[in-house]
Chains A and B, each alone.
Chain A
Amino acid sequence: MSHTPTAIYSCPDIPSKNFEVDITQERFNTTNGKSTGPSEHVLNAGQVDQDKPSDPKHIDDDSSKGLTALSKLRCQLTGLQDDINDFLTQRMEHAKNKKLKVSDEKRLDQEINELLDGGDGQDE
């Protein structure tokens, strides 16, 4: 019997939202998350990703054996992080949509510039 990590999100309008690992899903079996990579913006600018997480390790480095306990945990956390990021991004988008006026592209550019100039990415 092994333990898996879980996460709980709560805030005034959501009493509690649970995130759990489902090892049958691919995203809980990789260290390469879909939302944990570098942002598209820098990749387009020619960034070489030097901060890539290493691949999960097998026991005794033997690919016929299973993953090490720590590597399993890393994979499961990567999946959880993806789920949480998705959820939070949706919430943010939802909150922003209410006052959205400028076009998406322009808004993105604006936000990136604000961030680069030391803003905190939050609306004043």
Chain B
Amino acid sequence: MVNLNTIPPKNNREYYIAIGLEGSANKLGVGVVKHPRLASHQSGDNSHICKAEILSNIRDTYITPPGEGFLPRDTARHHRNWVTRIIKRAIKEAKLTDPKLDIDVICFTKGPGMGAPLHSVVIAARTISLLWDVPLIGVNHCVGHIEMGREITKAENPVVLYVSGGNTQVIAYSENRYRIFGETLDVAIGNCLDRFARTLKISNAPSPGYNIEQLAKQCKNKDRLIQLPYTVKGMDLSMSGILAYIDSLAKDLFKENKKNKLLFDQETGEGLVTVEDLCYSLQENLFAMLVEITERAMAHVNASQVLIVGGVGSNVRLQEMMAQMCRDRANGRVHATDERFCIDNGVMIAQAGLLQYRMGDVIKDLKDTVVTQKFRTDEVYVSWRE
């Protein structure tokens, strides 16, 4: 029996407050979330209806010049230089007058992610924990995305498509774990888009994926799709072949290699394919694969709902395709959140961390706050669900 009210809120209050710190990749986010203490949480699986109130959600992104990715060292430096300011802003916007008394728990990303950025953020978390004498909770980044998505959309038990810079997974809950049904066999979707953007020197602001999406919208040859490998293996997929192929096309296009028959008219030397066309074809192909493996997982576990989370999840074209697939299935529904929650943020870490905290799972020794680069979604024991 799940009882989310195991630990009473501080100072006999009727609500909990958690602060979350996220910095596993190039976004640094701090968020404050409030849960009322509800009788409906005394027993039963109601973790998707916490009536969570978001008191603040502050984020700052480390942006690199076009053609460059973000290196761990520089990203960590960005986080170090901003983390104090961002925490202050989050506290101020949440109107917390005394964090010492107001905050029940401090949540930080334990992993997965880039080592150096994770380290800089956990040091900030430990510091405020000692400063305010507030306990710490380490959160799995992916579980953070899932719990935030469930809370926002109220999707009770959806198949989750988690798509971001470092992840591509199809997840479903079963027996106290978020189990991975399908995933990429090589590179992640966001990584694939980022690398393609780097070759074409597409801007990294606000994100390469967003700019690819905008370019794809401007494609004028939508009926002339460039054929790319379509590699679905059961509920898994592979993207390295597609990336290598489209990357070579992108290089030829960028360098104007007129010998490429697909890109240039061999007689007139006229360009046949534009950057927009490449972006469009790449998106159509990759997203079709994502929707297909999601549908396979839905059929396999008899689910009717889909929740899309992670940075790439804010892509409107992907949401459209997923919605179309769901419409064509009996009672199918798709849930997606907007960029405030899709893109890495502190609130999601606070949300998942607070659920953990309310179940009585809290770090007792600073030794247990070590962060880890590799931390699979199914390693987490999900005590707050039945």
CB-based nearest A residue for B194: A116
For chain B, residues 69 to 90, give those with C-beta under 8 angstroms from any C-beta of chain A.
Answer: 69-74, 77-78, 81-82
Query: Which of B62, B71, B187, B195 contacts A39 (CB under 8 A)?
Result: B71
Residue of A nearest to B67 (CB): A45
Report chain B residues within 8 Å CB of A36. 77
A118–B74 CB distance below 8 A:
no
Q: A38 to B71: give the CA distance in the assembly, Å.
A: 10
Q: Does A66 count as interface, using CB distance less than 8 angstroms?
A: no
- Asked if residues B115 and A120 are in contact (CB atoms below 8 Å), the reply is yes
Chain B interface category by residue count:
20 to 34
Least CB distance, B217 to chain A, in whole angstroms? 27
Residue A23 is within 8 A (CB to CB) of chain B in the complex: no
> Separation in Å of the A80 CB from the closest CB of chain B?
15
Report how far A53 CA is from B82 CA in the complex, Å.
10
Using a CB-CB cutoff of 8 Å, which residues 79-124 of chain A contact chain B? 112, 115-118, 120-121
- Binary B-proximity of A37-53 (CB < 8 A = 1, otherwise 0): 11101100111000111
The residue of chain A having its C-beta at the shortest distance from the C-beta of B79 within the complex is A51
Return chain B residues, CB-CB under 8 Å to A45. 64-65, 67-68
Contact status A47-B188, CB under 8 Å: no
A13: shortest Cβ distance to chain B, in Å? 22
A52 to B166, CA, bound (A): 28
The answer on a CB contact under 8 Å between B82 and A47 is no
CB <8 Å contact, A42 and B68: yes
- Does A42 lie within 8 Å of B77, measured CB to CB? no
The reply to whether B77 and A38 contact each other, CB–CB distance below 8 Å, is yes
Chain B 29-65 interface 0/1 with A at a Cβ cutoff of 8 Å (1 = within)? 0000000000000000000000000000000001011
Per DSSP, are chain A's interface residues mostly helix, strand or loop, or mixed? loop
Q: Give the chain B neighbours of A51 by CB distance below 8 A.
A: 62, 77-78, 81-82
Find out whether the CB atom of A41 lies under 8 angstroms from the CB atom of B71: yes
In Å, the complex CA distance between A112 and B195 comes to 13
Q: Indicate if B373 sits at the interface (CB-CB under 8 A).
A: yes
With A51-B81, A118-B114, A120-B115 already in contact, the answer to whether A112 and B71 are too (CB < 8 A) is yes
Min C-beta distance of A51 to chain B, whole Å? 4
Contact of A42 among B65, B81, B114 (CB under 8 A): B65
Give Cα A48 to B73, complex, Å.
16
Q: Is the CB of B191 within 8 A of A118?
A: yes
In the docked arrangement, what's the CA distance between A38 and B74, Å? 6
Interface string of A15-53 (1 = CB under 8 A from B): 000000000000000000000111101100111000111
Contact A47–B78 (Cβ < 8 Å): no
User: A117 and B191: CB pair below 8 A?
Assistant: yes
* In the complex, residue of chain A having the shortest beta-carbon distance to the beta carbon of B165: A118
Q: B232 → chain A, closest Cβ, in Å?
A: 22
In Å, the complex CA distance between A120 and B119 comes to 13
A39 CB to closest chain B CB (Å) equals 6
Known A118-B114, A118-B188, A118-B191; judge A39-B68 contact (CB<8 A): no
Q: Name the residue of chain A whose CB is nearest to the CB of B77.
A: A51
Complex contact B72–A42 (CB within 8 A) = no
CA distance A52 to B188 in the complex (A): 32
Tell me the nearest residue of chain B to A46, going by C-beta.
B65
- Please give, as numbers and ranges, the residues of chain A lying within 8 Å of B62 by CB-CB distance: 51
Residues of chain A within 8 A (CB-CB) of B114 are 118, 120
A47 lies within 8 A of B64 (CB) = yes
Given known pairs A47-B64, A47-B65, the reply for A121 and B187 (CB within 8 Å) is no
Contact A39 B115 (CB under 8 A): no
Name the distance in Å between A91's Cβ and chain B's nearest Cβ.
16
A47 with B71, Cβ < 8 A, contacts A36-B77, A118-B166 known? no
Cα distance A45–B64 when bound, in Å? 9
Q: Check A42 against B166 for contact (C-beta < 8 Å).
A: no
Cα A36 to Cα B62 with chains together (Å): 16
14 additional contacts (CB under 8 A) given A46-B65, A51-B81, A117-B195: A41-B68, A42-B74, A45-B68, A47-B65, A47-B68, A47-B74, A51-B62, A51-B78, A112-B71, A116-B69, A116-B70, A116-B71, A117-B191, A120-B373
A-B contact pairs, 14 of them (CB 8 A): A37-B77, A38-B74, A38-B77, A45-B64, A45-B65, A45-B67, A45-B68, A47-B64, A47-B65, A51-B82, A115-B71, A117-B195, A118-B188, A120-B115
